[in-house]
């Protein structure tokens, strides 16, 4: 995997970061969960999904018996956007080579939320029609299974999002023997 240098300045997000947020979990897993961007807690700790969204994701994984350490977890960008706004296209493009290197050779990529789904699948629209559908995306000339689903924070406000996220994680656990 290609990682950004500690002093990365490929986009403006570098000016507000405390830490680069690099992948966690099993870096060799066939399955990668991809969120949109680090939040405040992630920026402070340098790890993805350790704040409120991480607690929700951990609970959903626990509910279906999926060990967090058996998947790789990352984000489309490695630095926190100001005021937790969505990452901009240019920011995602600046980090894309790092993300592509993380995704290369995987068997399944799960897009957590609208930003990740937009960046990876180039889909703009409501999540409901695409959640838990089997899509394929190209990464480094390779066709890889892509499953769009809700971001863990959507589970706070929508019961259906919670159920669908669990369904996604259950599918991944069963299909890939995790």
pLDDT tens per residue, range 51-80: 999 999 999 999 999 999 999 999 999 999
Secondary structure of residue 124 in the 3-state scheme: coil
- Domains (range + CATH), the chain: 12-173 (3.40.470.10)
Radius of gyration of the chain (CA): 15
pLDDT on residue 84:
87
Residues 97-122 pLDDT 10s: 999 999 999 999 999 999 999 999 99
Residue 45 confidence (pLDDT) above 90: yes
> Tokens 């967090």 sit at which residue?
68
Identify the bridge partners of residue 46 per DSSP, sorted by sequence position: none
Q: What is the pLDDT of residue 168?
A: 97
> How does DSSP classify residue 2?
-
d(CA 56, CA 162): 9
Q: How far apart are CA 160 and CA 168, in angstroms?
A: 12
């Amino acid at each position: 995997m290609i990682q950004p240098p500690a002093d990365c300045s490929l986009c403006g997000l570098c000016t507000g970061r405390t830490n680069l947020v690099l992948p966690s979990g099993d870096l060799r897993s066939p399955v990668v969960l991809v969120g949109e961007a680090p939040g405040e807690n992630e920026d402070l700790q340098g790890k993805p999904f350790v704040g409120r969204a991480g607690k929700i994701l951990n609970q959903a994984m626990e509910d279906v018996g999926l060990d967090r350490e058996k998947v790789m977890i990352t984000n489309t960008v490695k630095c926190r956007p100001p005021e937790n706004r969505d990452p901009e296209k240019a920011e995602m493009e600046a980090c894309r080579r790092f993300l592509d290197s993380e995704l290369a050779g995987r068997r399944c990529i799960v897009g957590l939320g609208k930003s990740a789904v937009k960046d990876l699948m180039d889909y703009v629209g409501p999540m409901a029609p695409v959640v838990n559908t089997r899509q394929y995306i190209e990464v480094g000339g390779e066709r890889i299974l892509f499953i769009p689903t809700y971001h863990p924070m959507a589970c706070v406000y929508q019961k259906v999002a919670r159920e669908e996220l669990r369904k996604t994680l259950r599918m991944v656990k069963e299909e890939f023997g995790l």
